[in-house]
């Protein structure tokens, strides 16, 4: 019995140690700042799963001093149910790094003036992936439990 418990503990420790989203050092601002572009896999997901036709260049730009510019974000990403009309939204505001339950994420405070609804976008909506730079931004589409998301890879700093 004690061998079984010891084996289970060892397996649990190995599983936790292998998960790159649990034991992640806090990203530094210089490692996050840059221009992130929608990945080709995410473009395919939007076409095949969400019914989008042509997809313009979609970019998230994190600037020093915590300012952000979001250009051509698919509207399904800002709909709580993940529904999209094939349109794209844009906005500017501020970003803040937050500790998430697993890893780190960004909270966005989008200002009025763009096509993206102004307000706070928080929680697991924008997750930071990869242990080290260049990081990937993963944006939940609809309910985070649905597993649907789009990813943005850094193309310049």
Q: 4 in a domain, yes or no?
A: no
Residue 65 CA to residue 3 CA, distance in Å, equals 54
**Structure confidence at residue 1 (pLDDT):** 60
DSSP state letters, 97-128: EEE-SSSEEEEEEEPTTSSSPPEEEEEEEEEE
Domain count, the chain: 1
Q: For residue range 62-99, what is the model confidence (pLDDT) as tens digits?
A: 999 999 999 999 999 999 899 999 999 999 999 999 99
Q: pTM for the complete prediction? A: 0.83
CATH number of the domain where residue 29 is located: 2.40.128
Q: 11 in a domain, yes or no?
A: no
Contact 77, 47 (CB under 8 A): no
Q: 18 in a domain, yes or no?
A: no
Structural domain span for residue 145: 24-156
Q: Give the ranges where the chain is alpha helix by DSSP (H).
A: 2-17, 29-32, 40-48
Helix (H, G, I), strand (E, B) or coil at 18: coil
């Amino acid at each position: 019995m004690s061998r079984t418990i010891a084996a289970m503990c060892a397996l649990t420790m190995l599983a936790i140690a292998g998960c790159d989203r649990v034991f992640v050092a806090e990203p530094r601002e210089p490692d996050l700042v840059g221009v992130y572009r929608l990945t080709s896999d995410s473009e395919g997901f939007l076409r095949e799963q969400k019914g989008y036709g042509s997809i313009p260049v979609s970019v998230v730009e994190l600037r020093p001093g915590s300012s952000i510019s979001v250009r051509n974000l698919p509207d399904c990403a800002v709909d709580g149910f993940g529904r999209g009309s094939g349109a794209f939204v844009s906005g500017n505001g501020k970003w803040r790094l937050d500790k998430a339950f697993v890893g780190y994420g960004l909270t966005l405070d989008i200002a009025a003036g763009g096509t993206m609804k102004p307000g706070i976008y928080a929680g697991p909506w924008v997750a930071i992936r990869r242990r080290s730079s260049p990081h990937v931004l993963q944006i939940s589409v609809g309910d985070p439990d649905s597993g649907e998301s789009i990813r943005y890879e850094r193309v310049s700093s």
